[in-house]
Each structure stands twice: as C-alpha cells, then as structure tokens.
Structure 1
Amino acid sequence: MTDDLPPGGGVPGESSGVPRATPAADAQAPVVGRGGRRRDQALALGWLVAAWMLLWGDVSWGNLAAGLVVGTAVLLFFPLPPVTFGGRLRPRALLAFMATFVVELVNASVHVAVLALRIGYRPRGAIIAVPLRVRTDLNLALTAEVISLVPGTLILDIDRVRGVLYVHVLDVRGPGDLAAGRKRVLAVERRIVRAIGSPDEVRRLDLEPAERRNHP
C-alpha cells in the first residue's frame, strides 16, 4: 500500500476517522444548467448507441433505431449522476496521451506474454492504494479505465470520496516495483488531466498532498 493517503484513508473495510459517505471538497457534484444537462444526455445517448451497435457487430438502420430506443430507455429508467465536462481540450496533449498509451499497451502486453512463457516462474501480485490529485468523477473514471486496459494492472476498487484507486499490479519483486506502479498510475492521471482538464485541475497536479487536501 502507498503511504500518501488522505486523512482517514486505508484499505476497504477498515474503520477510519472520516466516513466514506462524507463528500470531499473537490468531489461535490457540479452545478449543471438545463442546456448542459441536455448536452450531457445527448453525449451519453450517443455512446450508448455506439456501444449497442458494436455489441451487435452490424451497422444498419435497424440497429441504429434499436440503439436509440434502448439508450433512451436506459437514460430514463436508470439515470446516472451528472458528470459534466468542464475542462479544456488540448489536441497536442491528447495526441501525446494516445501515443504514450499505445506504447505502454504494447510494452505491457509483451511483458505479460514473457511472464506467461517463463517455465516455473510464478509472478507475485500486490494491491496498491493510489490517491489521485484530481478527485472529480470524470478523472476517476478515465484514469481507472485506462489503467484497466493495460495488461498487468487492474482496478479492484475506487474510493470516490477520497479519490483513491486500489490497483492490482503484477510481477512485484520488491518495494521498488510498488513505487513504480504508483508512479505509472499518477503519470496516466497527469496525461489525462493535461489533455482534457481545466486550468485549475492542471495546477492541482503540482500541489503537495497536504495542499491538495486543503485546496477547494
């Protein structure tokens, strides 16, 4: 486990001085206007339709219509908490993030393949707690998704209140590997925030842990 946890933090199931239901200062739900809410719903519907068509593996007018009906029903009967985008898209940083992700994906795939082919070698795994510096729902979700897509790392749990990711890492041989795993997660967060984060979120990347806890 990492030792850079917010006050009261710890592994799931442990008692702490701060209840999990207490919202953090920078984890409060954003105030979304009617226009912004409709925009977010339209984006969510678009992603649901795209996922529906990918699941069927056929791009047709029938699948498009069915996806619209199913997506609308999901948004009506299973409404999700609003996760609005208040950042700024930076094309150069986004391209750098995508290129780095592809390189890490290839390297991790090769590493896991080599471990699988090593006869008699049983790699050890570990679970590390990584507090993120930007504790918004969008950043938590994106960072967790990217980490889970890379072979050898898997998100086991997310503490939404404290902004902590619990990550399972493969092939841990010593404390140095634990520190390296934590740095990889924070590097992914940094690239995501620099690509689509707001100026305030970008500044928050360089704050010390104590400063981040007191930062509004």
Structure 2
Amino acid sequence: MRSRRDVLRALWRQLPFFVWLVALWMLLWQQLTVLSLLTGIVAAVFVTRVFRLPPVQLSGRLNLLYGVVFVVAFLADVVRGSLIVAAQVLDLRRQPGAAIIAVPLRTDDDLIMSHTAVTASLIPGSLILEADRDRRILYLHVIGVRSNTDLERQRRSVLAWERRIVQAVGSPAQLVQVGVRPAEGASR
C-alpha cells in the first residue's frame, strides 16, 4: 500500500503533464476563457484516468537559462530554415537535393528523444520519418543536401538540439552523455 506521501509525490511529478493537457485543450479550442480552462481540466482528468500510461520520470531539474537559450535558438532556426527553404524553392536553376539520414542519439530517454524529434521536425527543411526507440535512432528526410558535409551538418544540428534539451531539463547523467560536465549545466 502506498503512503499518502508517495501518492502526493507521484501527483506532483505528473502535474506538468496535467497542465500541458489543459493548455493543449485551450489551444485546440483557441480560447483562453474560464470555461475552456474548466473543460480542459475535465478532459485532462478523463484522459489521465482512462488512458493509464506509465508515468514519465522527469529529471526534476529545470534550468531556466538553458530553457531560454533553447527557445531563442529554436525561433532563430525556424526563421532561418524558412528563409533557406523559400530560397531553394524560388531558385529555379537547380534542385535543392534531398536525403534520408539516420541520427543516433546519445541519451536513453523517451522524453528527450520525443522532444528532439519534434524540434527537428518543426524546423523547415527536415522531417522525422521514423524514431527507432530501441536503438535510439531518428531517421529524418532533409532537403538542401548536396554533399557528405551537408549530411554531417544536419546530424550535428539534431545532436545540438538534443544537447540543448538535455541542458534545459535533463538529469546530471544525461548531461554527461551529451558531453556537458554537470557543473556547467546542472544548476537548478
């Protein structure tokens, strides 16, 4: 039998996902009203009680500085990627070139893998085709590839996103896996 303290600790750990479900509900309805908040809470309770998923273990660490770095870098890459793709489309002299690449990730965490995959897909010019969970490999379709140097640049870009995500929310062990000393990026 679980103690009351264990139950409260489990609920506290799941709170970010519950809040995310409510926010997602409000975004889907495109309303920031009290009614959408209340129906979002009802929907989140329903989803979390009916669809029992294994609890996601968060690292318990959030580095706001690296979170801001991630958001700023992401927005800059979205703008940069949009401009590059637009230029490739408008350049009628040559085809942009495309490839499917495999990017082996360094961390062994489903949440980090999911965040990395979503981030890579949201940046124009690349799209996740498959995520091999067992081998920790993301397969991407990328455009604007003309050489092996371009392929390696794309791989390094995905690994840089993994590193930024780990620096923002990863555990000290994950920081080591992506090549960051915990003292550099482990502050709470």
Is 1:87–1:199's contact at 8 Å kept on the other side of the alignment?
A: no
Any stretches of 5+ residues in structure 1 without a counterpart? 1-32, 208-216
Post-superposition shift, 1:87? 4.6
Equivalent position of 2:90 in the other structure: 117
String of CA shifts for 1:30-51, please: whole Å, max 9, x gaps.
xxx5344312433222111111
Hey, what does 1:165 align to over in structure 2?
138
Q: Which runs of 5+ in 2 are unaligned?
A: 1-5, 181-188
Q: Do structure 1's residue 47 and structure 2's residue 20 form an aligned pair?
A: yes
Instruction: For residue 146 of structure 1, report the CA deviation from its aligned partner.
Output: 0.9
Distance 2:84 2:90 in 1: 10
TM-score for both structures, normalised by structure 2: 0.85
Identity across matched positions, percent? 42
CA distance in structure 2 between the aligned counterparts of 1:49 and 1:88, rounded to whole angstroms: 22
Greater relative CO (CA pairs within 8 A, separation 6+): 1
Displacement of 1:150 after TM fit?
0.5
- 1:140 aligns with 113
Give 2:147's match in structure 1, choosing from 174, 182, 202.
174
* Secondary structure of 1:112 counterpart: helix
CA displacement at 1:95 relative to structure 2:
2.1
1:135, 1:162 within 8 Å by CA — same for their partners in 2? Answer: no
Q: Does structure 2 conserve the Cα–Cα contact (< 8 Å) formed by 1:124 and 1:172? A: yes
Judged with a 3 Å threshold, the aligned counterparts in structure 2 of structure 1 residues 92 and 46 are, in CA distance, closer, same or farther, namely closer
Deviations 1:118-153 (A, max 9, x none): 225332221111111111011101111111110011
Query: What is the DSSP-based 3-state SS (H/G/I as helix, E as strand, rest coil) of the residue aligned with 2:128?
Result: strand
- Structure 1 equivalent of residue 80 of structure 2: 107
Aligned partner letter, 1:100: A
Alpha-carbon spacing, 1:80–1:121, altered in 2? closer, same or farther (3 Å) = farther
Q: Secondary structure at the match of 1:155?
A: strand
TM-score normalised to structure 1 length: 0.75
The range that moved more, 105-114 or 87-96, is: 87-96
Partner of 2:68: 95
Deviations 1:14-73 (A, max 9, x none): xxxxxxxxxxxxxxxxxxx53443124332221111111111112222222221222211
- Partner amino acid, structure 1, of 2:80: N
* Equivalenced residues, count: 175
Q: Does 1:183 align with 2:156?
A: yes
Say if 2:33 is the partner of 1:65.
Answer: no
Q: Which has the higher helix share?
A: 2
Of residues 58, 61, 65 in structure 2, which corresponds to 1:85? 58
* Whole-angstrom distance in 1 between the partners of 2:60 and 2:177: 13
Deviation digits for residues 80-103 of structure 1, max 9, x if unmatched?
232121152222222222222222
How many angstroms does 1:164 deviate by? 1.0
Please report the RMSD computed on the Cα atoms of aligned residues, expressed in angstroms: 1.8
